Chains A and B, each alone.
Chain A
Amino acid sequence: MFMGLYRFKPMPSGRMGIFWTLSGIKESAIIEFGCMGHNLYSGADLRRAGIYEGFGAPLYTTYIDETDISLGDTSRLDATIKQVIINDAPKVIFLQPSAVPEVIGTDLFAVANELQFDFPETRLIPIGHGSFAITQHKGVEEALLALSKTLPLDIALSDAPTYNIIGSCPDLFRYKADAVEITRLMEGAFGMDPCCILSSDTSISAIEKMGSAHVNLVIRREGIPAAQLLEKRFGTPYVVGRPYGIKGTNQWLEDVGNTLNRSQNKAFTNFETELVLEQIDQAYNTLEGNAWSYPQEAAISIGGHADVVKGVLDFATKEMPLKVGSCWCDCPEMGTDEIPYFSEKQWIPIVKNHDKGYLMFSGEALKWAGKNTSLQISNPDIGWRIHPYEPPFVGYRGAVNLVNLWVNEYALTH
């Protein structure tokens, strides 16, 4: 393939990463300045992914026509803001350009500064240069950073210790279930409630209180700049990582406890650990026996977000009897020797020719290749995710879920 030529859905743009990251924030509205298609289709995808009307931010667009482009006219934005305030009275309106205003160089920051005087009761926050060089991941990082920079208020630490999750965003497959499992772990191990789950399940009010949290849990590397900023401003320590597997989850909880200088509820972690070990015992033996006899069938290949791939791979190969297959990440800037970035050209033959072992990747590619789509670990998605209680991939319950998926793949193929 040539640069820019794709068969499958390409790497989403930074604008898309920003848009998706902002979409879950209640008490806000998003206005996209530009053509309408992105808003409509992204909105539909988000609804399928569980961010629906009344849950997250209402998604508006202005539309833009030839006259607006040739005259550099932004008056649609003015009128739309007025209407959105009448409709929803949001505390904050996020303003985002689509691709066409980016090309013609509309300065949304200047426009927002000007319009802010007309709408003093609603904060207008332009987000994203959204240039053509940045990817979805950079967009997510930029949005998380902008939220952490602009919205938190000066505030004292909460009396009852709380935490923020930074990086729960709908571009990650099964993001919601993972966030729910993390809140369960934190409640069980430390008796703590979340202050803000940035950004898939939060509100402007919760973001404003982020400075009161005792620790920030950064569950994807794009959240690190936001955590660093919050540490600088509020002194909030942060922990980076996603808790995969049994030992991995225990280690993650230990890291969180050490950072908080707070002891864990061992009864919870011991109970959970024992429970998972019992639940996966027979499946472990099955996978282990097969790996011993047919080592080539124990290879696990995973493609997706670098942090997800690393976590699942570590659990599969360090705690479970699987072997490293072909693993890759979906972002050029995140590639390493262990988990390199693979372009479509590189992963197509792996997916197409995969015949033994376990293949976990996007629903789109698995379906195309006729592979087991229940092993989907990343997006693009192929289904609706409106069930709020899907099993996670992280935490103790995520460990059981992953083993369940692998042993069923074994059962299906034998």
Chain B
Amino acid sequence: MTVELRHLKKLSTIRSGKNIKFLTPAVYSGGYCPMRIACNIVENTEGLSYLLVGMPECATHSRGMNSSPDGLQGELRWLYTLDENEVIFGCREGVIDALRQMNDEGAKAIMIIATCVTDLIGEDLDGIIEELQPQINARLSFVTLGQFKNFGTPIGTWKTAEALGTLMMPKERIDNKANALFIEPWRYNNDPVNFPLVISAMEDRGVDIRRLSRGATLEDYFDAPDASMNLVLSSYTQPLAQKMQERFDLPYAPLHNAFSVSQVDEVYADIAKAFQIDFSNCFDKWRDKALELEERAHKDLPGLKYAFLTGVDMPVALARYLSAFQMEPLLMHIQDFHNEDIGYAKEMKTLGYDPPACRIMHRDKDLEIIKAMKPDISFGSIPRDFEGLRVAEEMGDYFGMTGYERTVSLLTRIFNVLETGKTGERMDVYGSVPF
């Protein structure tokens, strides 16, 4: 099979998701709409209502099969569909009327979620909020998520997270308070939400942690600026942390992109300093294991070629880490490109790695292309019956996981796959070292 990659751009030239091309042109059968992600996040936030503004397609598919129009705490999940006139002349009046009615029905805060056509016609939601906010009690925020410029899950998540941030107001700082930012749209592997070991270690040392994750309440978001530090557990929440730093002068600890032991050491030291706590030896076993595996990685991994398939969280940050072991990326599936990825790509290029970036949109066909590239290992998801690739699967396990325990689990998985061809069992990383 001839592998044709000339249409793809090199990672170092990419500045936004717009530059990432499809590996093959036919999309089978579509990708997650960021609107759906926004609805999920709002539905997982107690006390927060939403008004979706879009077409009947959006309104229908905004709901899962079993979603209800009412939340358990009286949240409203209402849908506004544009008619043929509003598509041309805008939906301002209708949306204002809808928001007023939601306010009258008791909504405490409403996230307006605008989809493709609303985004395309440029409805001024900012202006609507500016006009209406003084007249109603419900706090208003909005996110515009036309899929033509917001590709998928990551961007939908981080934009919604940022929009949640606009609901916040300045608060008096509490010294021993931190926010753990892990806003995530799905309930797959990490349910109930498990947090990295550093969170419990901080709590053991008297730091009060507010978990801004699934199940957090609207009040949690209102109060969040009272914290002394944000702990970023996912690249999806890094933009929110940056916004909170700008608005409230609230520093953040980027735990999410610290893969190597030295990086984890550094960020833990910053946290310890900020809260004047001592982690003493509480991570030693995980850290020792991580060091041991990194040492082995430096010996065994150089020269190995790899590809990223779908389902890899923070692919560019992870690739930067693998570059340290001189692993060579052949091709990277990147669903959405984060601003911070520009820096990681630059570091990789300095180390001599600048792979083509793509979006795998027709998995069965695209995997054949990747197979022909003969990677030593791939990361991500493959169909059950696909053969011919050694794949570290279930990479979603690392979504929201940080620290030495993530390093241990990740490197262990890589060695497992290289040795056995199989991912192996999921490692329990929420307690003591399991070996």
Q: A4-B86, A10-B59 are in contact. Are A63 and B22 (CB under 8 A)?
A: yes
In the complex, which of the residues A43, A64, A66 contacts B18, with contact meaning CB atoms closer than 8 Å?
A: A66
Which residue of chain A is the closest to B79 with respect to CB atoms?
A6
Candidate in B27, B98, B146 with the most chain A CB atoms within 10 angstroms = B27
Contact check, B28 vs A132: say whether CB atoms are below 8 A apart. Answer: no
A381 at interface (Cβ–Cβ under 8 A)? yes
Task: Tell me how far the C-beta of B145 lies from the nearest C-beta in chain A, rounded to whole angstroms.
Answer: 10
B35 at interface (Cβ–Cβ under 8 A)? yes
A87 at interface (Cβ–Cβ under 8 A)? yes
Candidate in A11, A37, A98 with the most chain B CB atoms within 10 angstroms = A37
Interface string of B60-91 (1 = CB under 8 A from A): 11010110111000001111111110110001
CA distance A76 to B18 in the complex (A): 15
Contact check, A367 vs B22: say whether CB atoms are below 8 A apart. Answer: no
Interface string of A1-21 (1 = CB under 8 A from B): 111111111111101100000
Q: A10-B59, A83-B25, A367-B66 are in contact. Are A38 and B30 (CB under 8 A)?
A: yes
Contact check, A100 vs B81: say whether CB atoms are below 8 A apart. Answer: no
Which residue of chain B is the closest to A82 with respect to CB atoms?
B25
In the complex, which of the residues B27, B66, B87 contacts A61, with contact meaning CB atoms closer than 8 Å?
A: B27
B430 at interface (Cβ–Cβ under 8 A)? no
Q: A6-B79, A7-B69, A38-B30 are in contact. Are A66 and B149 (CB under 8 A)?
A: yes
Q: Contacts of A36 on B, CB cut-off 8 Å?
A: 27, 30-31, 33, 147
CA distance A100 to B55 in the complex (A): 10
In the complex, which of the residues A61, A99, A381 contacts B65, with contact meaning CB atoms closer than 8 Å?
A: A381
B198 at interface (Cβ–Cβ under 8 A)? no
A249 at interface (Cβ–Cβ under 8 A)? no
In the complex, which of the residues B25, B33, B60, B66 contacts A12, with contact meaning CB atoms closer than 8 Å?
A: B60
Q: Contacts of A1 on B, CB cut-off 8 Å?
A: 101
In the complex, which of the residues B25, B94, B120 contacts A5, with contact meaning CB atoms closer than 8 Å?
A: B94
B211 at interface (Cβ–Cβ under 8 A)? no
Which residue of chain A is the closest to B24 with respect to CB atoms?
A83
Q: Contacts of A234 on B, CB cut-off 8 Å?
A: none
Contact check, A4 vs B81: say whether CB atoms are below 8 A apart. Answer: yes
Contact residues, A357-414 vs B (CB, 8 A) = 367-368, 380-383
Q: A103-B121, A132-B83 are in contact. Are A6 and B147 (CB under 8 A)?
A: no
Contact residues, B1-54 vs A (CB, 8 A) = 18, 22, 24-33, 35-36
Contact check, B36 vs A35: say whether CB atoms are below 8 A apart. Answer: no
CA distance A211 to B121 in the complex (A): 45
Q: A48-B65, A83-B24, A103-B120 are in contact. Are A4 and B147 (CB under 8 A)?
A: no
CA distance A281 to B66 in the complex (A): 36
In the complex, which of the residues B18, B58, B69 contacts A8, with contact meaning CB atoms closer than 8 Å?
A: B69
Which residue of chain A is the closest to B7 with respect to CB atoms?
A79
Q: Contacts of A31 on B, CB cut-off 8 Å?
A: 26
A59 at interface (Cβ–Cβ under 8 A)? yes
CA distance A48 to B65 in the complex (A): 10
Q: Contacts of B81 on A, CB cut-off 8 Å?
A: 4, 6, 10
Q: How large is the interface on B (under 10, 10 to 19, 20 to 34, 35 or more residues)?
A: 35 or more
Contact residues, B76-134 vs A (CB, 8 A) = 76-84, 86-87, 91, 94, 97-98, 101, 116-117, 120-121
Interface string of A67-82 (1 = CB under 8 A from B): 1110000001001101
Contact residues, B316-373 vs A (CB, 8 A) = 361-362, 365
Contact check, A10 vs B147: say whether CB atoms are below 8 A apart. Answer: no
In the complex, which of the residues A2, A15, A367 contacts B98, with contact meaning CB atoms closer than 8 Å?
A: A2
Contact check, A9 vs B59: say whether CB atoms are below 8 A apart. Answer: yes
A60 at interface (Cβ–Cβ under 8 A)? yes
Interface string of A51-66 (1 = CB under 8 A from B): 0000000111111111
Contact check, B58 vs A84: say whether CB atoms are below 8 A apart. Answer: no
Q: A40-B32, A103-B87 are in contact. Are A80 and B117 (CB under 8 A)?
A: no
CA distance A98 to B33 in the complex (A): 14
A41 at interface (Cβ–Cβ under 8 A)? yes
Which residue of chain B is the closest to A77 with respect to CB atoms?
B25
Contact check, B68 vs A368: say whether CB atoms are below 8 A apart. Answer: yes
Contact check, B120 vs A9: say whether CB atoms are below 8 A apart. Answer: no
In the complex, which of the residues A4, A42, A62, A68 contacts B94, with contact meaning CB atoms closer than 8 Å?
A: A4
In the complex, which of the residues A11, A16, A60 contacts B27, with contact meaning CB atoms closer than 8 Å?
A: A60
Contact check, B33 vs A58: say whether CB atoms are below 8 A apart. Answer: no
A296 at interface (Cβ–Cβ under 8 A)? no
Q: Contacts of A65 on B, CB cut-off 8 Å?
A: 18, 148-149
CA distance A382 to B77 in the complex (A): 17
Contact check, A43 vs B84: say whether CB atoms are below 8 A apart. Answer: no
CA distance A103 to B116 in the complex (A): 10
In the complex, which of the residues A2, A58, A87, A99 contacts B55, with contact meaning CB atoms closer than 8 Å?
A: A99
Candidate in A99, A131, A368 with the most chain B CB atoms within 10 angstroms = A99
Q: Contacts of B148 on A, CB cut-off 8 Å?
A: 35, 64-66, 68-69, 100
A203 at interface (Cβ–Cβ under 8 A)? no
B57 at interface (Cβ–Cβ under 8 A)? yes
In the complex, which of the residues B22, B27, B69, B84 contacts A132, with contact meaning CB atoms closer than 8 Å?
A: B84
Contact check, B56 vs A11: say whether CB atoms are below 8 A apart. Answer: yes
Task: Tell me how far the C-beta of B98 lies from the nearest C-beta in chain A, rounded to whole angstroms.
Answer: 5
Contact check, B61 vs A3: say whether CB atoms are below 8 A apart. Answer: no
Contact check, B79 vs A35: say whether CB atoms are below 8 A apart. Answer: no
Task: Tell me how far the C-beta of A79 lies from the nearest C-beta in chain B, rounded to whole angstroms.
Answer: 4
Contact check, A16 vs B97: say whether CB atoms are below 8 A apart. Answer: no
Q: A4-B81, A9-B60, A69-B120 are in contact. Are A40 and B30 (CB under 8 A)?
A: yes
Candidate in A5, A38, A84 with the most chain B CB atoms within 10 angstroms = A5
Which residue of chain A is the closest to B121 with respect to CB atoms?
A103
Contact check, A39 vs B84: say whether CB atoms are below 8 A apart. Answer: no
A160 at interface (Cβ–Cβ under 8 A)? no
Task: Tell me how far the C-beta of B165 lies from the nearest C-beta in chain A, rounded to whole angstroms.
Answer: 25
CA distance A380 to B61 in the complex (A): 11
Contact check, B32 vs A6: say whether CB atoms are below 8 A apart. Answer: no
Query: Given A10-B81, A58-B28, A133-B83, 20 more contacts at CB 8 Å?
Result: A2-B98, A4-B91, A6-B79, A7-B77, A7-B78, A12-B57, A13-B56, A37-B31, A37-B35, A37-B36, A38-B57, A39-B30, A41-B60, A41-B61, A65-B18, A83-B362, A87-B362, A98-B57, A99-B55, A103-B121
Binding site for A on B (CB under 8 A): 18, 22, 24-33, 35-36, 55-61, 63, 65-66, 68-70, 76-84, 86-87, 91, 94, 97-98, 101, 116-117, 120-121, 146-149, 361-362, 365
Interchain Cβ contacts under 8 Å between A and B, 20 examples: A4-B80, A4-B98, A5-B78, A5-B94, A9-B79, A37-B147, A38-B30, A40-B32, A58-B28, A59-B29, A59-B30, A60-B28, A65-B149, A68-B148, A83-B24, A99-B57, A99-B116, A100-B148, A103-B120, A104-B120
